[in-house]
Amino acid sequence: MAPSKVRDEPEETLSSPHDPGLLAAYLEGRLDAREREVLTAHLAGCAECRQVLALLARAAHAGLIPRPTPAARPGFALHRWLPLAAALVIAVATVVRWNWSPTPFGETRPSPAPAGVSISPPPSASEAAPSPASSPGGAKRRADTLDPGVLVTRGAGRRVAGKTFRLAAGEWIDASFDPAAGLPITDVNGPDQRSSLLSRLPALAPYAALGERVLVVFEGTVYRFRP
Amino acid sequence: MRTRPVELVERDRILALVASQVHLRFALDASTFTERLLELGRAAASDRPPQEHVRRLSLDDLYLASACAQGEEGAWEECLARHGGFVRGFARRFLREPAASDVADQVIADLWERRKMARYEGRSALRTWLGAIVAHAALNAVKADRRWLPLECEGPGPRPQEQSVSPSDVAVPEDRLLFEGLVREAMEGLSAEDKLIILLHYEQDLTLDEMAIAVGGSKAGLSRRLKRAREQLRASIDDLAQSRTGLSAETLRSGIDLGRLQLDLGSVLGGEMAERKNDGAV
């Protein structure tokens, strides 16, 4: 069964009865549930499209093309549970906020961290203790021990030009950034380097506009903007 | 008080998206680009506001591609600077020279001279779309000329894609044909998702890491799912073998050269055989 939007492309190099745009969007997890279902059925029966998908997946694994962000890739079946999971997260967050609010949300602002600071704050002694949340009232005690600023910064996220960023320790970090991927890192220090890079790669401009400290993965390279 | 027509509201919302996400650097202006986005949004879904679709697009990439499609030299220069090397390198990943250069040149020529860049609709990153275009073109080149064997099929050992039975294989044992038929029939009994992960793993030879990229989900989740699908497939082949021949699948496959099966069932079932061997059961 062919996907609903598959088009004929009778000419030479782009000739294929299968839409490369849909396959690329599938790889990046950007189809809606219905489209994804239809294309999955098509892929199960079409060896050529499977081969293209496999080649793209290898290229993404090698860092040649953008890796899909986990947020964009629910995977098979998981999308059915997403609404329930989201509701659960909101409910838990509401309970935690009601039970514990030394500072109103939104008032605490992370201070810019010095260069070289680790992205994730290290766990406190109480966090590292064996399963504090597993005992009755554990969740409450765990919330009490956390720095309120950490909760606020961890909760802050922004979507810009197709990418999701999280604010951690004063730095906007691309959610697709995987330190283990070993991608080349380009440091962009100061306004001169920033404007030089942006004139060369203007597509980075929306991400750089997030702030002075931004880490973004773009076309197989990690760009680290610093003031 | 008069309300604004819906079309104008939609247009304004898309204009706002363009203003916030696109660096307008070519002759293609925001208004003209917005018209294209409106068209794409309306074509994608008639029952939803077009901005819902537009919001999910890679707008800056789409702006670049749209300017290329309009024939703007500056846009094409930027596109080549950003993606030209990738197109050539990606073709070289799975084609020999001079085929790789021929395919890359042809793709680039088609995108520019024949304005095929206009087919990019921003539903993925431009680079991923270009990767899909190059991969399709390379596969077509391989089909047209078998000398251009994909390099990714080469390696220390034979890969499943190479294990297909050639038409010149005249002595095809009847058992093997029967067994292949059973495998295909059993595969049809799997859900599309299970069938796809089985094929990506055993036919396309993707690792779990690569499969997690291809279809999403965690490695652990995919591993569990793959195991379940393999067990279901094996049970189904057993049932079919019993009902058709009165023999177990194990007996039927014992006389077959599994390495030459079109679908590498040796891997599908062999994985379990190896596990059983480790357990001392075989």
Q: Which domains does chain A have, with CATH numbers?
A: 20-72 (1.10.10), 100-226 (no CATH)
Residue B132 has pLDDT above 90, yes or no: yes
Would you put residue A38 in left (φ > 0), alpha (ψ -120 to 50) or beta?
Answer: alpha
The verdict on ipTM greater than 0.90 is no
Structure confidence by residue, pLDDT tens digits, B172-209:
566 677 777 888 888 888 889 999 999 999 888 899 99
Residues of A within 8 A of B131 (CB-CB) are 24, 55-56, 59, 64-65
List, in order, residues 6 or more apart from B238 with CB less than 8 Å away.
Answer: B248, B249, B250
> 233-262 in B: which are within 8 Å (CB) of A?
none
For residue A178, with 0-12 CB atoms within 10 Å meaning exposed, 13-18 middle and 19 or more buried, which class applies?
middle
pTM: 0.60
Give residue A65's pLDDT band: very low, low, confident or very high (50, 70, 90): confident
| pLDDT tens, residue by residue, A176-204 | 887 777 777 888 988 888 888 888 888 88
Buried-state track A63-87, b at ≥16 Cβ within 10 A, e below 16: bbbbbbbbebbbbbeebeeeeeeee
**CB-based contact A29 B216, cutoff 8 Å:** yes
Domains and CATH numbers, chain B: 84-157 (no CATH), 171-278 (1.10.10.10)
Q: Which residue has the tokens 């099929």?
A: B153
Instruction: Please determine, for residue B126, whether its predicted confidence score (pLDDT) is greater than 50.
Output: yes
B159 touches chain A (CB under 8 A): no
Which chain B residue is nearest to residue A78, measuring alpha carbons? B217
Q: Which of B57, B102, B123, B124 to mutate to test the interface with A (most CBs of A within 10 A)?
A: B124
DSSP code per residue over B95-114? S-TTHHHHHHHHHHHHHHHT
